[in-house]
A = this chain, B = another copy of it.
Amino acid sequence: MPVDTDAAVADLGEFRFECGESIENLEVAYEAYGEFTGDNAILICHALTGSQNVASHRTQWDRQSGGSSGPPNSAGQARAWWSDIVGSGKAIDTTEYYVVCANVPGSCYGTSGPANEAPDGEPYGTRFPPVSIGDWTRAQRRLLDHLGVGRLHAVVGGSVGGMNALDWAVRYPDDVQCVVAVAAAARLDPQCLALDGIARRAITTDPNWHGGDYYDAETGPTDGLALARQIGHVMYLSKSSMDQKFGRRAAGRDMVRDTFPSDPAADFFPYRDIESYLDYQAEKFVDRFDANSYLYLTRAMDDYDLSEGYESDAAALAAFEGEALLMSFTGDWHFTTEQSETVAEAFRADDVPVAHHVVESDHGHDAFLVEPENVGPPLRDFLHNGVRGQAVTDTVAADGGDDPEFAPVHTSLFSG
């Protein structure tokens, strides 16, 4: 049975962003699951286009709307995005923990962002202050103060949410016992920076973007946002998963490329399953996400660097005295196993108890969402017993040897 939950928007007052600009009132939309007992709070950090609706449950919105779904505008991946991991009896058990998930500043699921109204009554658009992952962390800290939560048992995040979790260990090292970063990294590599830059260019060169001032227009930059999402989508899958899922098959006759312009010559060639899938996903995405938010959040992700302001990743994490779990997936080329190993090494250099749990997987980056059977057990055990948790493995052999157990990724096609 779905658990009852607080879903609300907190008014946190004036907020000064890391860029130096301020807004008068930062609103943060969040959901909270379970009962707070003083030392059982877990903060979950969502991924790029995710929302606070981490699990499936009856929310305030359901009650208010008589049972219809979730927070306004949420749909698809943004809705109940980790319901296999978070819930009653799940790895992050809401009957045991008090679980909080907040929409990040700059996003579009209820927390202040470009689509919100500025004091002048017009949408902020690109007048909204630039946002960093540090701002996300600081906003979350403010929200937890508002909720009466001091020290957290754990911060858990996947993808850029994992970067957010690592930022907690740097920024508020005394406030967290356990840090879990799933399919994350200390910083994006240039290949991903390139693809994110191309995705943003797709949005800003869409004539309907209008410098970000499209909220009252008939059409927003949906073509550009669709392209941006499709580029992202390819980053979330692997060659292997695309082979298995789509191959080179043509889509069925009932599938037509009718959502955007094409040309007569195209009809000679098959409309392939993979194209049809990406087109369909992009159509769904543009209905649920704001183009300016996509610019803001990808910039925050691209800009994140664990070691910023420090001499090294290890120096950044030096004040952290809890335990850390890194989890990575061998088929993930967006956030690679090598990158998680780099973070593990930084924790090890600080003598922080850390485990880097590597999952053999074909699913690419999406694995952290679609393989709860592999993510759940080590996560559950880590939250109970730290790095000694039974299902938790590490890349460093227990005998003290330091050869990583995972396949040598330097032989990969990608790193050459």
Contacts and interface: CB of A to CB of B under 8 A. Distances in A.
Contact of A227 (B187, B227, B279): B227
Contacts of A204: 260-263
B234 A194 contact: yes
B413 A194 contact: no
B414 A411 contact: no
Interface stretch (A86-94, A206-214, A389-397): A206-214
B230 A275 contact: no
A140 to B, nearest CB: 21
A264 interface: yes
Given A127-B264, A363-B416, A274 B190 contact: yes
Given A194-B242, A412-B412, A295 B260 contact: no
B268 A416 contact: no
Nearest to A247: B190
A175 interface: no
B189 A242 contact: yes
Q: How large is the interface on A (under 10, 10 to 19, 20 to 34, 35 or more residues)?
A: 35 or more
Interface in A322-364: 329-333, 336-338, 360-364
Given A212-B263, A223-B205, A261-B204, A190 B248 contact: yes
A360 B416 CA distance: 7
Nearest to A409: B413
Interface in A290-347: 292, 295-296, 299, 302-303, 305, 329-333, 336-338
Number of copies: 2
A190 B333 CA distance: 16
A237 B191 contact: yes
Contacts of A212: 263
Interface in A260-281: 260-266, 268-270, 272, 274-275, 278-279
Given A190-B248, A238-B416, A412-B411, A126 B265 contact: yes
Given A190-B242, A243-B190, A414-B413, A129 B265 contact: yes
A243 B363 contact: no
Given A19-B268, A260-B201, A299-B265, A194 B128 contact: no
29 contacts: A126-B265, A128-B265, A129-B265, A130-B268, A189-B239, A190-B245, A193-B248, A193-B272, A194-B242, A197-B272, A197-B278, A198-B234, A205-B224, A205-B227, A212-B263, A248-B305, A263-B292, A270-B303, A331-B416, A332-B413, A362-B415, A363-B416, A407-B411, A408-B411, A409-B412, A409-B413, A411-B411, A412-B412, A413-B413
The 4 closest A-B pairs by CB, nearest first: A331-B416, A362-B416, A412-B412, A126-B263
